[in-house]
Homo-oligomer: A and B are copies of this chain.
Amino acid sequence: MTDAKFDLIVESFRKFLRRGAITHLSNMVNKMRPADVAQVIRHLPAVQEQRTVFEVIRDVKMKAAVLSETEAPIMTHLLLDMPPHDVVGILRELASDDVADILGHLPEEKAQDVLQLMKVEESEEVEDLLQYPEETAGGIMTTEFVALPEETTVKDAIAHLQETSAKQMVFYLYVTDGDGRLVGVVSLRQLLTVHPSAPLKKIMTTDVISVVTDVDQEEVAKLVARYNILAIPVVDKENKLVGIVTVDDVVDVIREEATEDILKLAGATEADLFQMSSLRAARMRLPWLLTSLLGGMVSGVVLWFFRPAIKDVIALASFIPVITAMGGNIGLQTSTLVVRGLATGRIESADLRGVFFKELAVGMLMGTVCGFIVGVVGHLWHGPAMLGVVVGVSMFAAITVAAVMGTLVPLLLRRIGVDPAISSGPFVTASNDITGLVIYLSLATALLSYLT
């Protein structure tokens, strides 16, 4: 659906809602794709409107599909006042990972009510899933997979597939030994192209790529992307198959992680900023800003310390913004490259030295160009040739130091086990401002007699 068409649809929805034209609304909603309905719901401003749209959906399967496409805060609003019995009816249509995800976001009490109403078997499955940390293979996996013993024939396997319900897309058939340990995998395509009486053992691929439940979701996404597979089996410590993570969930993980990294670099740590109240959003972003505020004030202290030079040669003040701006920028540029390189696997531990010297060289080159320009401008603008030299050399030094810091800080943070994305932004910027000013003003103070 194009953006323009989408805007029109949202408009019609709001018109129908204002007029209370529920029949029109219902006709429209029930003809749409679940993902599109979810998208419209997300763009309705009032919770009551969101609920009304959700309630006019006739088919419980569609309700379930819409629900699985909405984000946590909206999902909670939609389900909060619904009788637990109805909630169970909808959840029954969803795969266990989606159910666990939804229950994980409901208030404890409500989730308990719902779990008690579910069939024992179903609720056990969901409770098991709820135990895994959210951002691990266990936390994103589904337990709806097809696994068969290695002796099963192709014919029986096909018959089994025909009987299995179709909540989840099936891509592969997993093959297990007598103890439930994962020993092989067969693609649906393979099933179609071999003799019906062959046992799975004969046709399966034994070199299966799998992950253990506690592997980070980012790692899972990397593996699925690297090996171009549609689903990755998740096993426990004993190599017993406990679930699978499918490529559509991996797509979501990659988007989420990219968004998270971007926002972290900008000092905003939550993806849900647009759904929060302004007050909460401001509170979330404040810690980062206060780091920055502190850094800015330390820069101020540095300036204060060197005030005699500035008072004598006021021209010095006119280059303070450009020195701090350039240091901050280069630092951000370099740290962003390094953080992203680490995240996508383009930088591996093997080439850290190479990356460092490369960024050092780039920093020195850029420092030379910018230093030269600023030096010439300084001389032409304010007179003394030495002023040009001081400004130019300081700019070169500030940029080079910024490039070095921008490379080292994320690498060091990673080494001590801190997520490089979260801390490099404000920290690098503030320390580059300070270093740049110290270099500039101490050089100016030392050469003060040549500047007047």
Q: Which of A103-111, A122-130, A177-185, A251-259 contacts B (4 or more CB under 8 A)?
A: A251-259
Q: Is the CB of B314 within 8 A of A307?
A: yes
Say whether A377 faces chain B, with CB atoms less than 8 Å apart: yes
Secondary structure at the A interface, as helix, strand, loop or mixed, is helix
Chain B, Cβ-Cβ closest to A351: B43
Measured between beta carbons, the chain B residues less than 8 angstroms from A255 are 225, 254, 258, 344
In the assembly, what is the distance between CA of A266 and CA of B429, in Å? 12
Q: Is the CB of B322 within 8 A of A320?
A: no
Q: How far is the CB of A37 from chain B (nearest CB, A)?
A: 12
Chain B, Cβ-Cβ closest to A363: B282
In the assembly, what is the distance between CA of A138 and CA of B355, in Å? 35
Q: Is the CB of A226 within 8 A of B370?
A: no
Q: Is the CB of A317 within 8 A of B310?
A: yes
Measured between beta carbons, the chain B residues less than 8 angstroms from A115 are none
Measured between beta carbons, the chain B residues less than 8 angstroms from A299 are 321-322, 325
Say whether A72 faces chain B, with CB atoms less than 8 Å apart: no
Q: Which of A35-94 contact B (CB under 8 A)?
A: 35, 39, 43, 45, 69
Measured between beta carbons, the chain B residues less than 8 angstroms from A317 are 303-304, 307, 310, 317, 320
Q: How far is the CB of A43 from chain B (nearest CB, A)?
A: 5
Measured between beta carbons, the chain B residues less than 8 angstroms from A365 are 278-279, 282
Taken residue by residue from 281 to 315, chain A's Cβ proximity to chain B (1 for < 8 Å, 0 otherwise) reads as 11001101110110111011101100100110011
Say whether A413 faces chain B, with CB atoms less than 8 Å apart: no
Say whether A328 faces chain B, with CB atoms less than 8 Å apart: yes
Say whether A230 faces chain B, with CB atoms less than 8 Å apart: yes
Instruction: Give which listed residue, B278, B329, B340, contacts A426 with CB less than 8 A.
Output: B329
How many chain A residues touch the partner (CB < 8 A)?
A: 118
Q: Which of A16-24, A162-170, A233-241 contacts B (4 or more CB under 8 A)?
A: A162-170
Instruction: Give which listed residue, B169, B292, B326, contacts A189 with CB less than 8 A.
Output: B169
Measured between beta carbons, the chain B residues less than 8 angstroms from A429 are 325, 329
Measured between beta carbons, the chain B residues less than 8 angstroms from A358 are 274, 278, 281
Measured between beta carbons, the chain B residues less than 8 angstroms from A259 are 258, 340, 344
Give this chain's copy count. 2
Say whether A147 faces chain B, with CB atoms less than 8 Å apart: no
Q: Which of A330-362 contact B (CB under 8 A)?
A: 330, 332-333, 336-337, 340-341, 344-351, 354-355, 358, 361-362
Chain B, Cβ-Cβ closest to A347: B274
In the assembly, what is the distance between CA of A320 and CA of B279, in Å? 28
Chain B, Cβ-Cβ closest to A221: B251
In the assembly, what is the distance between CA of A341 and CA of B355, in Å? 31
Q: Is the CB of A289 within 8 A of B192?
A: no
In the assembly, what is the distance between CA of A225 and CA of B285, in Å? 29
Say whether A324 faces chain B, with CB atoms less than 8 Å apart: yes
In the assembly, what is the distance between CA of A248 and CA of B193, in Å? 23
Say whether A273 faces chain B, with CB atoms less than 8 Å apart: yes
In the assembly, what is the distance between CA of A373 and CA of B45, in Å? 35
In the assembly, what is the distance between CA of A444 and CA of B330, in Å? 31
Say whether A232 faces chain B, with CB atoms less than 8 Å apart: no
Say whether A10 faces chain B, with CB atoms less than 8 Å apart: yes
Say whether A6 faces chain B, with CB atoms less than 8 Å apart: yes
Q: Is the CB of A333 within 8 A of B267?
A: yes
Instruction: Give which listed residue, B170, B324, B351, B361, contacts A325 with CB less than 8 A.
Output: B324
In the assembly, what is the distance between CA of A319 and CA of B45, in Å? 41
Measured between beta carbons, the chain B residues less than 8 angstroms from A296 are 321-326
Measured between beta carbons, the chain B residues less than 8 angstroms from A377 are 297
Task: Known A-B contacts: A274-B358, A292-B325. Give 15 more (CB < 8 A).
Answer: A11-B350, A39-B226, A161-B193, A188-B192, A247-B251, A267-B332, A274-B346, A282-B365, A288-B333, A293-B326, A293-B370, A296-B324, A303-B321, A307-B314, A311-B314
